[in-house]
Amino acid sequence: MKYNLKSCMMLALLGSLSGAIAETTDWPQWRGSDRTGLSHEKNLLKAWPEGGPEKKWIFRDAGIGYAGIAVVGDTLYTLGAKGEKEMLIAISDKDGTEKWSTEMGGLLTNAWGNGPRSTPTVVNTSKGLLVYALGGQGDLVCANACDGKILWQTNMSEYGGGIPNWGYTESPLVDGDLVVCTPGGDQGAMLALDKLTGKKVWQSEDWTDGAQYSSIIAADWNGERQFIQLTQESLVGIDSDNGDVLWRADWNGRTAVIPTPIFKDGYVYISSGYGVGCMLVKLGEGHSVEEVYKNRNMKNHHGGVVLVGDKLFGYSDGVGWLCQDFASGEEVWSARRELGKGAVTYADGMLYCLHEDDGTLALVEATDEGWNEVSRFELDPQTEQRASRGKIWTHPVVSDGKLYLRDQEIIICYDISAE
């Protein structure tokens, strides 16, 4: 542990001053501050030099796995497997050195690669800055951000959950006084715990789908706060107060359902791979649900979809990189040869598209006029520890003028600020 008492006191003060999840320049959880995959950054480079932006630092001991990155203040948080344990890790964003690492659970083993798959969630609370993380075998922990000390922990099996085929991959949502996740199973698919104590508040007993791989989002609609989640059987809205089902729409997912739902103005958009496609539903009065469209234009596997204005961007299996109209579901443009399958993040008018096979990152204008690529570079160095079936699956992160890419134990920070 490398934090001193002064550092912990400063973080505690931050927590006492704010209940927000983070400042807008931070990336405090999966898909950013609002789980949309959109960065609120401005004044970023609109083109990169040959070979890519300047590297600020390289960290080479993040452990094995596909876990994502959260950045709050001067610290980066992630997960990784070291030996037979999964670890919660804090890294200095100033120089890429480790601040602390904490054992959080047993090792998930899988033919596609061992280790954790989710992203930590970092929140200001009355007890200071806290970190919530879910391991591949369902170990959920709450830890002090200043030193990694575990405050409470549990496992999804305690709530009837069964480990999905590729492990637990969702990133826990912290909303108000609750930390919410999806153990799945007959006791209730969705679970809410008190964020400070870890005590159970409710479980959605009338919704019992098995856990899949998507992460929950929160939305306010019809005067109610609700948690929206997607499984292989259904898309649901759960009452944040008591875990009751507010609305439900059928979904015929196959094999694995992964991308995070997108909510906008009473509409919810989802997509799944394995040939399934996408759907948009409208939430009406009295918790009615109307299907607006369902088609196979966007078949997003796990690279995610972002909504920029009224257009969706992501990679569609068998189609390529796709721009789709949110309201109609129609294809606006597609690009298959320009870049292979991968993940997407948005910042300051640009798409950051990461090719999962070779680590090429393309900077592309987020426009409805076609694939307009400005720059690209290839991730270097890359790991030698990735499983033979594995690829570069950790999504790009943009925070405070910096870009973060990860390939297993290697995390690289780039300076992309135009200031």
Q: Are 115 and 65 in contact (CB under 8 A)?
A: yes
Distance CA 375, CA 279 (A): 32
**Integer Cα distance of 20 and 24 in angstroms:** 10
pLDDT band at 113 (very low <50, low <70, confident <90, very high): very high
H, E, C per residue of 293-344: EEECCCCCCCCCEEEECCEEEEEECCCEEEEEECCCCCEEEEECCCCCCEEE
Closest CA to 221 of 267, 259, 280, 271: 267
Q: What is the mean pLDDT of residues 30-44?
A: 97
Helix (H, G, I), strand (E, B) or coil at 10: helix
Q: Of all residues in the chain, what percent carry a pLDDT higher than 90?
A: 94
pLDDT digits (tens, 9 = 90+) for 304-320: 999 999 999 999 999 99
Predicted TM-score of the model (pTM): 0.95
End-to-end CA distance of the chain: 34
pLDDT at position 201 over 50: yes
| The CATH number, out of the four listed (2.140.10.10, 3.30.450.40, 1.10.645.10, 1.10.10.10), of the domain defined by the range 5-415 | 2.140.10.10
> Mean pLDDT across the stretch 364-370?
98
Query: Is the backbone of residue 370 left (phi > 0), alpha (psi -120 to 50) or beta?
Result: left
pLDDT tens-digit map of 125-156:
999 999 999 999 999 999 999 999 999 999 99
Question: Does residue 15 carry a pLDDT above 50?
Answer: no
Q: Is the pLDDT of residue 386 over 90?
A: yes
Contact call for residues 67 and 55 (beta carbons, < 8 A):
no
pLDDT of residue 63: 98
d(CA 224, CA 246): 9
Q: What is the mean pLDDT of residues 358-363?
A: 98
**Residues paired with residue 282 on neighbouring β-strands, in sequence order:** 267, 290
Hey, is 9 helix, strand or coil?
helix
Q: What's the pLDDT score for residue 173?
A: 98
Quote the pLDDT of residue 27: 98
Q: Are 122 and 102 in contact (CB under 8 A)?
A: no
- CA 399 to each of CA 51, 226, 227, 330, 389: distance values in angstroms, whole numbers, following the listed order: 21, 28, 26, 32, 30
Q: Is 279 helix (H, G, I), strand (E, B) or coil?
A: strand
Span 262-271, average pLDDT: 98
Calculate the average pLDDT of the chain: 95
> If you search the block for the tokens 């970023």, which residue do you land on?
44
| Per-residue model confidence (pLDDT) at position 25 | 85
- Examine the pLDDT at 2 and tell me if it is beyond 90: no
Position 357 pLDDT exceeds 50: yes
Residue 273: count of CB within 10 angstroms of its CB: 24
How far is residue 238's CA from residue 229's CA, in Å, rounded to a whole number?
8
Only one residue has tokens 């497997």, namely 81
Q: Tell me what pLDDT residue 91 has.
A: 98
Q: How confident is the model at residue 419 (pLDDT cuts 50, 70, 90)?
A: confident
At 16 the pLDDT is: 40
Does the structure show a pLDDT above 90 at 23?
Answer: no
Q: From 302, 110, 146, select the one nearest 135 (Cα to Cα).
A: 110
What pLDDT is attached to residue 417?
97
Amino acid 86 reads E
The pLDDT of residue 1 is above 80: no
Confidence (pLDDT) at 207: 98
